[in-house]
């Protein structure tokens, strides 16, 4: 049975606010007029009909929506009359998606969406979190989780753990943070946090966004501690364009003879199902051909489309995987670990010992793929309606591990619970970084470090919505 669900978020508002790669255009026609002088913009009803057709065909939660049923309308005319009542595609999409769905997306320019899925984003390189003041229900401060190389933030020597509490001289609150952090350029006011008090330093930094492709392999190293060779990989997205780089990283682990692996997924919101399969197969290697995950689609599509995801020993291009053949893996998680990250954890658990350290994951066990306004069943880009650029990523199937486990709405619970303390984040990839230190203690038998309690509440946001997607 499904558990009770959290309120359905305002995902379209969140998308508009948080995904800074979006390039706005006022009218559809203005977006296309340079391409075709004879361009005819699609009507809202036409776009709404694409939304209905795509969801009617593939949507995982189709049974929740009466107006998506195959017999909902007597004929096409009746369906179009219903769809014409919506003032926008966004309004239509919201009406035709389930209250248990907080991950399906509609985008008005599929170029932006394609870039986002490939890891290309408009960013200043500062990946941050937002936290409420200890004694103020509305004031916020930000902290730097990590910084992308070759970015404005890295050039400005912004580093993990730095604290900011104002943008362009305006104090951050839960009412204004989205507007303040959305522009292409802004100035941060730095502060310190001692666990109780936020203090201004008087220093500031201006950051400028630019288009950047993030390498999801943020950090990899081998730590030699107490006679153990421990591979550490901070992996921040399942981006299939970097699959070869991921395989090369595991080749380096093999060459250095690692005994144990710590996989850091605490900031990884997901991505490609295939990449997740590769990663799970690189961690193991002894289960080739066995079920990594199974799929459950809507009742109309299950028989034709459902197929098991199997552990593999090579990539689609024939390159052999560098597999460690481990019987145990340590995985660092947080509430930002989602989707394909959770697939790896859940898919490995029937086979090897998965020691999860951190906090519970996001709770996303569903996958999507990109639908364009084209005929079913392909909904392909090559046949897409040229009158608009709307596309969508609806949830189309959910994943189950080989033991049948799914529907972890509240996330995957850690083996060892430890929250990041914003005043003690530590240096990533070092033996003193708090979450990694716990993993090392578990591996080596060295004394367990004393964790520092988190005494502030984090505002859970998606800096980029595509950080919570699993697709194929």
Q: Could you tell me where the beta strands, DSSP code E, fall in 93-194?
A: 105-107, 120-123, 126-132, 140-147, 163-167, 170-171, 185-193
**pLDDT computed for residue 207 by the predictor:** 98
Q: How far is CA 435 from CA 191, 410, 440, in A?
A: 24, 21, 9
pTM score, two decimals?
A: 0.89
Residue 459: the pLDDT is: 66
pLDDT of residue 112: 84
Spatial CA neighbour of 391 closest among 14, 138, 15, 68: 15
Give residue 303's pLDDT: 97
Distance between start and end Cα atoms, the chain: 26
Closest CA to 363 of 412, 405, 400, 398: 412
| Phi/psi at 423 (5° precision) | -95, 10
**What residue ranges of the chain have pLDDT lower than 70?**
1-39, 451-456, 459-468
Q: What is the pLDDT of residue 456?
A: 63
For 123, the 3-state DSSP assignment is strand
Chain segment 55-85, per-residue pLDDT in tens: 999 999 999 999 999 999 999 999 999 999 9
Q: Spell out where 339-433 has E strands.
A: 353-358, 366-368, 371-372, 391-393, 395-400, 416-417
Domains of the chain in start order, with CATH, are 11-117 (no CATH), 120-213 (2.30.42.10), 217-373+398-450 (3.90.226.10)
Question: Could you read off the pLDDT of 230-246 as tens digits, one per residue?
Answer: 999 999 999 999 999 99
- Both tokens of 148, joined, read 């992308």
């Amino acid at each position: 049975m499904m558990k009770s669900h959290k309120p359905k978020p305002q995902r379209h508002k969140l998308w508009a606010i948080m995904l800074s790669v979006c390039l706005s255009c006022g009218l559809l026609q203005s977006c296309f007029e340079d391409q075709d002088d004879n361009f005819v913009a699609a009507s809202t009803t036409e776009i709404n009909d694409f939304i209905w057709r795509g969801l009617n065909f593939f949507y995982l939660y189709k049974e929740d929506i009466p107006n998506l049923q195959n017999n909902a309308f007597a004929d096409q005319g009746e369906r179009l009359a219903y769809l014409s009542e919506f003032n926008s595609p966004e309004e239509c999409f919201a009406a035709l998606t389930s209250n248990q769905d907080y991950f399906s997306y509609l985008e008005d320019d599929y170029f932006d969406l394609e870039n986002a899925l490939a890891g290309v984003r408009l960013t200043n390189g500062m990946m941050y979190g937002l936290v409420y003041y200890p004694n103020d229900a509305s004031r916020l401060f930000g902290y730097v989780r990590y910084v992308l190389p070759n970015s404005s933030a890295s050039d400005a020597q912004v580093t993990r753990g730095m604290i900011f509490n104002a943008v362009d001289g305006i104090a951050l609150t839960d009412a204004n943070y989205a507007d303040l952090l959305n522009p292409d350029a802004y100035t941060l006011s730095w502060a310190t946090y001692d666990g109780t008090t936020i203090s201004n330093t008087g220093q500031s930094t201006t950051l400028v966004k630019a288009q950047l492709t993030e390498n999801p392999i943020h950090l990899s190293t081998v730590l030699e501690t107490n006679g153990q060779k421990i591979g550490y990989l901070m992996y921040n997205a399942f981006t299939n364009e970097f699959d070869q780089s991921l395989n090369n990283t595991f080749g380096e682990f093999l060459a250095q003879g690692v005994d144990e692996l710590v996989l850091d997924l605490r900031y990884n919101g997901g991505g490609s199902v295939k990449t997740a399969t590769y990663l799970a197969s690189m961690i193991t290697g002894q289960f080739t051909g066995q079920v990594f995950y199974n799929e459950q689609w809507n009742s109309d599509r299950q028989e034709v489309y459902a197929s098991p995801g199997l552990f593999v020993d090579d990539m689609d291009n024939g390159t052999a995987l560098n597999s460690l053949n481990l019987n145990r893996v340590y995985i660092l998680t947080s509430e930002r670990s989602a989707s394909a990250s959770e697939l790896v954890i859940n898919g490995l658990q029937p086979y090897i010992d998965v020691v999860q350290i951190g906090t519970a994951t996001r709770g996303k066990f569903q996958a999507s793929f990109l639908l364009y306004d084209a005929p079913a069943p392909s909904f392909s880009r090559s046949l897409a309606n040229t009158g608009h650029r709307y596309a969508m990523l609806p949830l189309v199937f959910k994943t189950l591990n080989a033991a049948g486990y799914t529907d972890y709405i509240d996330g995957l619970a850690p083996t060892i619970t430890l929250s990041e303390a914003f005043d003690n984040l530590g240096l990533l990839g070092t033996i003193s970084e708090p979450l990694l230190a716990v993993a090392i203690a578990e591996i080596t038998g060295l004394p367990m470090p004393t964790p520092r309690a988190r005494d502030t509440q984090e505002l859970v946001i998606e800096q980029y919505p595509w950080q919570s997607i699993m697709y194929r």
